Structure 1
Amino acid sequence: MQKLSPSFSGALRTFSFWIANGTVGMPLLKGIDYSCIFEEPSALEQAYAIFANVIEMDNEGVVCNAKHAEMRAAQFIRSYVDENYTVEPEFEGWEVALH
Structure 2
Amino acid sequence: MKLSNSFSGALRTFSYFMASGNQSTLKGIDYLSLYGEEPSAIEQVFAIYANVIELDVNGQVLNAKYAEKRATDYLRQYCDSSFIIEPPYEDWEITLHNPPPKIDLITK
User: Highest CA radius of gyration, 1 or 2?
Assistant: 2
Partner of 2:12: 13
4+ long deviations beyond 6 Å:
none
Aligned CA RMSD, in angstroms, stands at 0.9
Partner of 1:56: 54
Q: Which runs of 5+ in 1 are unaligned?
A: none
Distance 1:23 1:72 in 2: 17
Percent identity reads: 57
Deviation at 1:30, TM superposition (A): 1.2
TM-score of the pair, normalised by structure 1:
0.92
Letter in 1 for 2:3: L
Partner of 1:90: 88
Distance 2:18 2:74 in 1: 13
TM-score of the pair, normalised by structure 2:
0.85
Partner of 2:106: none
Letter in 1 for 2:63: N
Deviations along 1:22-63, one digit per CA (max 9) or x if unpaired, are: 122x2x421211123202111111000000000000000000
What is the number of residues matched between the two proteins? 96
Letter in 2 for 1:81: C
1:37 aligns with 2:31: no
Deviates more, 1:56-65 or 1:28-37: 28-37
Partner of 1:22: 21
Deviations along 1:53-80, one digit per CA (max 9) or x if unpaired, are: 0000000000000000000011001011
Partner of 2:76: 78
